[in-house]
């Protein structure tokens, strides 16, 4: 797992108060809410500098998909 994914997984664990995050962990199935999605997006922007918002969290609720989006945005290849 890349450093970005490790840090992002730590953030999910912290905000969702869960023990484990895998590639298949779904934000909402793990207890996420729209309010927590706003906090998650803000933390991603602050920690990584990636332009992610709560809509992205809703659109990409699976950890693998959201972390992939963050990586794409940081690389400048996201739509």
At 7-36, the pLDDT tens digits run 999 999 999 999 999 999 999 999 999 999
54-75: per-residue pLDDT in tens?
999 999 999 999 999 999 999 9
Tell me what pLDDT residue 79 has: 57
**C-alpha–C-alpha distance, residues 76 and 10, integer Å:** 24
The dihedral over CA atoms of 64, 1, 22, 17, expressed in degrees to the nearest 10, equals -100
Q: 49 near 74, Cβ under 8 Å?
A: yes
What pLDDT is attached to residue 78?
Answer: 62
Go through the domains of the chain in sequence order and give each one's CATH number.
Answer: 3-75 (1.10.1200.10)
């Amino acid at each position: 797992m890349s450093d970005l994914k490790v840090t992002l997984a730590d953030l999910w664990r912290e905000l969702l108060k869960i023990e484990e995050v895998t590639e298949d962990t779904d934000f909402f199935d793990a207890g996420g809410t729209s309010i927590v999605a706003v906090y998650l997006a803000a933390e991603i922007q602050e920690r990584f500098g990636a332009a992610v918002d709560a809509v992205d969290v809703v659109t990409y609720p699976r950890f693998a998909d959201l972390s992939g989006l963050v990586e794409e945005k940081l690389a400048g290849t996201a739509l």
